[in-house]
Amino acid sequence: MIFPESFSPPAPPDAGAARRPPSILLDLEAYVADRSNATTATATSRLGHTIQVTFCAADPPAMSYLCVHCPCAAESEDSGFGRVPRVVVAEGRFVLLFVRFGSRDDELFMYKGDPVSPSLERVQAGSSLTRVKEFGIVPRGDEGRHCLLVARTLAGLNPIKLELQIYSSVDQTWSTKPLPDVPGAGCTFGEKVITLGEGVLGWVDFRKGVVVCVDD
């Protein structure tokens, strides 16, 4: 599906307003548009498509947003976006984006909004992880310049066993960490992930409670 530029983006903020707002409201749906500024970063998809992401900041209550552009989207419906790219989770300077090329080529990209060197990287993940709805991001390292991407996944059904799939932006690899058996935790799958402090994530089930995982 091809999304025309006229379909979405509001007028960009003033070019003279170079300062970064202390806090923002981020639109969860990105705009499909060829916009560029000092925050623009690019990456290459699994099939060789070039994807460009630009961050457009605005003071609340106005919404900040991301513009995503792929030159191939103007070439054919098979190589273009299958749906509007969307924000999966954001924390600090990191934003995880879900992008679908064509009808079923799903990929995840991590955007880092660094004022000096913004970056975009493809997160290599299997199809089971591209279907995960709730991820957590734990900023790490010097001033949060790196991060861990964390997904809580089902490892077994009888009995229910859960594990953490953890992606490191440093070496761009996944690792697996089994979760201990905690009464009731297996029934709390989580509808939202929240950051509770440095290295602490909570998977929230609004009916049953919160499962807390600590980075150690």
Cα–Cα distance measured from residue 135 to residue 34, given in angstroms and rounded to the nearest whole number: 28
**Cα→Cα distances 31→3, 70, 95, 141, 215, Å:** 9, 12, 14, 31, 34
Q: Label residue 2 by pLDDT band (50, 70, 90).
A: very low
Residue 110 in this model has a pLDDT that exceeds 70: yes
Q: Where are the extended beta strands (E) located within 86-178?
A: 86-91, 94-101, 105-112, 119-123, 135-140, 146-157, 160-168, 173-178
Q: Label residue 112 by pLDDT band (50, 70, 90).
A: very high
Q: What is the pLDDT of residue 13?
A: 58
Cα–Cα distance measured from residue 106 to residue 45, given in angstroms and rounded to the nearest whole number: 10
Q: pTM score, two decimals?
A: 0.83
Q: Point out which residues pair with 188 in neighbouring strands.
A: none
Cα–Cα distance measured from residue 161 to residue 166, given in angstroms and rounded to the nearest whole number: 16
State CA 178 to chain mean position distance.
23
Residue 73 in this model has a pLDDT that exceeds 60: no
Check residue 105 and report its DSSP letter: E
Cβ atoms within 10 Å, residue 212 = 15
Taking Cα atoms as reference points, which of 82, 109, 85 lies closest to residue 8? 85
Check residue 160 and report its DSSP letter: E
